[in-house]
Structure 1
């Protein structure tokens, strides 16, 4: 599988980078125009980049209501690890907004197949010597993947995997493998993860979501349900049934139109998923 290589700079002053998104200024402002089928928006010389294969704990989710975040420890650690990997030091924030950093921008590159429905560039991210010429299609294999921050964050256990169907199978397999290794070694967030534990995540309303470590995809669905429907789990299954989360469970080769078949409500006060995050692949809608 080949991806478009784009060179440029990561810029964070005045932005709110988290563990899986950051802003990138391509050296060639027209570089992303080659991605006709999955466009990437470049505004004021910058594109928003979402890390391919990675889903970090939410630090400022506000799509359907007031801002809310998941437990701060690992959301903040993932964000800091991303910036450190990219060469940023002495990063200072007011709230989530970066007000200073040394240096204020760092050189790097992205490998992408295109944008998501929000026109963010979905990419593998690297620094140092680029693997080819700017604006060219580059074959991406596992050794190249292993040099990226995507691989690094999953290997350290600071983020969850978030796989979509455009990610090639061999690359997905490598990211799944390091995810399992991190979980088995008890690294990062995994000792506190309750996404698939038998008792599930205790959820009694919006405030409880800030206290449990769960898959961000499930967190977002719960937040949206509480904002748009009600502050209880009683109608959460019906809400999930109405969401188009086209998902495949790889181990059973079953495809579902929503998360509903993968989610259990326990005694009306807890939620769990029946498949591990690395065992699921979503269709980008």
Structure 2
């Protein structure tokens, strides 16, 4: 089981000139050297303003922009995130923030690793909840602390899907799942619209704005990539495509643990007849294997 110890890195969250979404913002550390002890730190690259893109631990929000494609509720969940972090009067040009008040918010991230794309996988704390945290410390993140994170709040309000990986400590999965379970029972946010377990995929309009169905963002991304392959001549359904790329350099047929016991491929959970797709697992009962 993963040890739930995370490194405290203080700094500020920035959005001006950036393209935040519902599960990722950019962060400027007070001391960027603190990234060096994170697992896969060599993948982290600072931009010119010393900011890095974060990946929020435990959540996945509807896509604001996956290439040129977006999901319904993407803008809404992004706006809820930014408002919850303390940003106001935000002016967008497309998906880019032109101005906001304030244009940065102090706080801290708790992280133990970067993902394959070089994003520190992080819990997000606002400044008022960091007074007992010392910069650079490695701390054990208990449930009471977890409940103070923006990650937990997004799940609690139904503004993001519960999406965890094998790198997420088991105790954290249980706590985050509990928040998401209640939001789902109350039909909050994404849960009022979600049709992941059974949806139709005829073309991009089936799952994109303005009138598409809402599905798990990871499955949305796979579906969009599949439809692009179809446009280029691929013959077969989504399951076939996932299997076909399993041995390629970009394997999108994710490994998934169901019920903390059985490891399958994403394609194993998909049943398709014509344009109707059935996803054969409870979204609150799956864990993706970290790449």
Q: 1:140-159 residue pairs with structure 2 within 5 A? A: 140-159=141-160
Partner of 1:207: 205
TM-superposed CA distance for 1:208, in Å, is: 1.4
Q: CA deviation at 1:244?
A: 3.8
Question: 1:262–1:34: structure 2 CA closer, same or farther, 3 Å change rule?
Answer: same
CA distance in 1, matches of 2:224, 2:52: 27
Q: Aligned to 1:264, which of 259, 271, 276?
A: 271
> Superposition pairs for residues 15-164 of structure 1, below 5 Å?
15-39=18-42, 40-44=44-48, 45-62=50-67, 67-71=68-72, 74-127=73-126, 128-130=128-130, 131-164=132-165
1:272 Cα shift? 2.4
Greater Cα shift, 268-277 or 37-46 = 37-46
Please state whether the residue corresponding to 1:173 is helix, strand or coil.
helix
Consecutive unaligned residues of structure 1, counting only runs of 5 or more, are: none
Count of matched residue pairs:
273
Q: CA deviation at 1:129?
A: 3.6
- SS of 1:150's equivalent in the other structure is helix
Equivalent residue for 2:238, pick from 236, 239, 250: 236
Report the Cα distance in structure 1 between the residues aligned to 2:238 and 2:162, rounded to whole angstroms. 24
Please give the TM-score of this superposition, normalised by the length of structure 2.
0.90
Displacement of 1:108 in angstroms is: 0.7
Task: Please report how far the alpha carbon of residue 38 of structure 1 lies from its aligned counterpart in structure 2 after TM superposition.
Answer: 4.5
Cα root mean square deviation, aligned: 1.6
Match of 1:247 in 2: 256
Compare 234-243 and 121-130 and name the one that shifted more. Answer: 234-243
Residues 59 and 161 in structure 2, CA contact (< 8 A), matched pair in contact too: yes
- Report the Cα distance in structure 1 between the residues aligned to 2:168 and 2:235, rounded to whole angstroms: 33
1:224 and 1:61 map into 2 onto residues whose CA distance is 10
For residue 112 of structure 1, report the CA deviation from its aligned partner.
0.5
Find the residue that maps to 1:112 and give its secondary structure. strand
In 2, the alpha carbon distance for the partners of 1:236 and 1:129 equals 44
Report the TM-score when normalising by structure 1.
0.91
For 1:213-248, what per-residue CA distance to the aligned partner results, in whole angstroms no more than 9, with x for missing partners? 100111111100111234899432111122341110
Once the two structures are TM-superposed, the CA of residue 192 in structure 1 deviates from its matched residue by 1.4
Query: What are the ranges of 5 or more consecutive residues in structure 2 without an aligned counterpart?
Result: 247-251
Q: Aligned with 1:21: secondary structure?
A: coil
Single out whichever of 204-213 and 39-48 deviates more from structure 2: 39-48
